Amino acid sequence: MRLSTSATSVIRTLMIFGIFALSSPTFSGTTEQMPQGNFGAQIAGTYLAMPQSADESTRILNLFADGNLASIQSVQFKGEVPPNAFSNQHGTWKSNGDNKAEAIVLSIVYDAATGAFLGTTKSQFDMQFDNTLQTVTVSVRGQVFGPGIDPLNPGNVQPTDEFSHNFQAKRVPVSGSETTADN
């Protein structure tokens, strides 16, 4: 079968574009802007933090290779820390040394009883991974800013609350050994 000149031209254009698209950071999913490089791929995953004492919460921490982060805590919906509730936490992270990363993480604070918006929390996560990259120890320092205040650039505005805590989390494995299927 012989293709027309215009069909051949279209195929060549698509091949060139396809090669460009596959090698382009925009289309390939990898970018030079991703500062984590291989470290990001190595630590990407879901981590579980179990409470070590009665005043700690269970947490699920998701780290993504592209430098994004998401977290959820067991206490966030109760209105106990402080007596207000807060949303899931979302942020960005970057590598800052051997098996280390830092992150800026945001969440929304609201009155648990009324649902009224009370402000935005900005937290700094300092993360240290073990040598196997299966466990991470995290130090968290945070500040809560009232409505209308940019937590990333609060200027001279004082936070309405400050907090700090630490947690340790282990990677959730992809393994069939922990579950069984009933057929």
Give per-residue pLDDT as tens, 117-166: 999 999 999 999 999 999 999 999 999 999 999 999 999 999 999 999 99
Exposure pattern of 140-168 as b/e (b: 16+ CB <10 Å)? bebbbbbeebebeeeeeeebbbeeeeebe
For 44-97, write each residue's pLDDT tens digit. Answer: 999 999 987 777 789 999 999 999 999 999 888 765 555 678 999 999 999 999
Q: How far apart are CA 166 and CA 37, in angstroms?
A: 26
Please tell me the predicted confidence (pLDDT) of residue 52. 77
Per DSSP, 4 falls in state -
What is the average pLDDT value for the chain, to the nearest integer?
80
pLDDT at 130: 97
Q: What phi, psi does 151 have (nearest 5°)?
A: -65, -20
Q: Does 183 score more than 50 pLDDT?
A: no
Q: What is the DSSP letter of 113?
A: T
Structure tokens at 120: 């935005």
How confident is the model over 5-31, as pLDDT tens digits? 554 454 444 344 343 333 333 333 433
Give exposure, 65-82, as e/b (b: 16+ Cβ within 10 Å): bbbebebbbebbeeeebe
